[in-house]
């Protein structure tokens, strides 16, 4: 249910074409809510059919010309309704954690190497988020919009910090397992 709301948010920030939305998802929203090119285009069609968005008029209609979309009042109202509604947190699902649990009963082959790989991935993501923070949120940038966007980025930084710390701890524990790869 949240993809249409992610698209409405992005379009309220800046009217865009489907291709531009896909690029923006890859660079920002996609850090916490991912969508494929096809999903975005399918959802644009639904939002337009529901009267939440419209294609901006073009100066010269041409076949194959990209459409840019903007949010209509009904779309803004839907986003406001959704933002104000209470939602319970969703349980966290992570295949690595499930694989660790399974390793307790079938053996740990391959787990240590994957823990190291995950650690490197999370370290890179953390470094990228910290670079975005330095670039996009210098001291003194404290409008309400900036502060809310920074909070979202801080959530990413804090989650990546958690994962890097947890993975480092898991690797330490793994090294002490009797008969494990690290023993």
pLDDT tens for 99-158 read 999 999 999 999 999 999 999 999 999 999 999 999 999 988 889 999 999 999 999 999
- Considering only residues 22 and 27, tell me which one the structure prediction assigns the higher pLDDT: 22
Mean pLDDT of the chain: 90
What is the share, in percent, of the chain residues with pLDDT greater than 90?
Answer: 69
pLDDT digits (tens, 9 = 90+) for 149-161: 999 999 999 999 9
pLDDT value, residue 141: 86
Written as six digits, the tokens of 101 are: 């649990």
- Considering only residues 133 and 62, tell me which one the structure prediction assigns the higher pLDDT: 133
> Lowest-confidence range among 24-33, 70-79, 142-151?
24-33
pLDDT value, residue 182: 43
Among candidates 95, 122, 119, which has minimal Cα distance to 172?
Answer: 119
pLDDT value, residue 183: 40
Sheet of 68-71: strands edge to edge? 16-17, 68-71, 53-55
The residue count of the chain comes to 183
């Amino acid at each position: 249910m949240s993809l249409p709301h992610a698209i409405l948010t992005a379009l309220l920030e800046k009217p865009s074409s489907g291709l531009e939305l896909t690029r923006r998802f890859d660079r920002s929203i996609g850090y916490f809510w991912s969508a494929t090119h096809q999903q975005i285009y399918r959802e644009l069609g639904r939002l337009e059919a529901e009267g939440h968005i419209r294609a901006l008029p073009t100066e010269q209609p041409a076949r194959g010309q990209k459409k840019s979309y903007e949010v209509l009042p009904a779309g803004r109202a839907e986003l406001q309704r959704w933002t104000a509604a209470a939602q319970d947190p969703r349980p966290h699902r992570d295949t690595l954690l499930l694989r660790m649990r399974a390793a307790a009963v079938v053996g740990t082959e391959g787990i240590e190497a994957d823990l190291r790989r995950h650690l490197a991935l999370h370290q890179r993501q953390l470094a990228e988020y910290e670079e975005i923070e330095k670039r996009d949120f210098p001291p003194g940038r404290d409008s309400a919009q900036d502060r809310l966007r920074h909070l979202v980025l801080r959530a990413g930084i804090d989650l990546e910090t958690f994962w890097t710390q947890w993975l480092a701890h898991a690797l330490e524990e793994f090294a002490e397992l009797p008969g494990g790869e690290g023993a």
